[in-house]
Amino acid sequence: MASRRITQSSINWSALSERVPESQRSQFLAFKAKSDAYLRRVMANPEKPPVIDWAFYKSRVPVAGMVDDFQKQYGGLTIPFPADTVSSQIDAQEKEIKNDIAKFKTESNARIEEYKKQLAHIASLIPYDQMTMEDYRDAYPEEALDPINRPTYWPHNKEDQIDYSEKAPQPNH
């Protein structure tokens, strides 16, 4: 796998460019320029090393056996490519992230539907500037003043009431 020749970038730059925020556009373009320069440098080299004319060197080098020894060593030279040990981890992370994204989408769609219901309810109400106190009480019974069942003191804020006690903020989980 690692011994195949790279002929072009496997990155879809246009799709990636669409996701880059405008504030990071210059960094993205610098990264793309470096990647393209690297690809050009790789492509400038031949796919296979040039063939060595061993007969030419045998005729020129006066030490007997030296070129034969070099040829034998050169022929036996193999460059080991590192084993791919992280692709499976990356694939597992990709599947996990895709599951997280799908879960987030379903949760978001559920929230959107709830918000649409709330917006429809608000749209069905009488505009605030046309509401009477009774209309407000009917629309928001938990927030409206109820002097009979829940009397309050002026200015009718929670903090100004006799039974008010400040609660510690709840941690968000």
Alpha helices for 25-159 (secondary structure H) = 25-44, 54-60, 66-76, 87-124, 133-139
- Where exactly are the structural domains of the chain? 1-45, 51-76, 88-124, 126-160
What is the per-residue burial (b if ≥16 Cβ within 10 Å, else e) of 109-143?
A: eeeeeeeeeeeeeeeeeeeeeeeeeeebeebeeee
Report the alpha-carbon distance of residue 32 to residue 17 in Å, rounded.
10
Can you tell me which residue has the tokens 């499976």?
Answer: 88
SS3 128: helix
- pLDDT, residue 1, reads 42
pLDDT tens sequence for the chain (173 residues): 445 666 666 788 999 999 999 999 999 999 999 999 988 898 888 888 888 899 999 899 888 889 999 999 988 888 888 888 899 999 999 999 999 999 999 999 999 999 999 999 889 989 989 989 888 888 888 888 788 888 887 887 888 888 888 776 666 65
- pLDDT, residue 42, reads 84
Report the alpha-carbon distance of residue 52 to residue 67 in Å, rounded.
11
- pLDDT, residue 64, reads 83
Whether the CB-CB separation of 173 and 161 falls below 8 Å is answered with no
Residues shown for the chain? 173
Report the alpha-carbon distance of residue 13 to residue 73 in Å, rounded.
43
Q: Could you write out the DSSP letters of every residue in 62-84? A: -STTHHHHHHHHHHH---PPPP-
- Structural tokens at position 135: 């209309």
- pLDDT, residue 117, reads 96
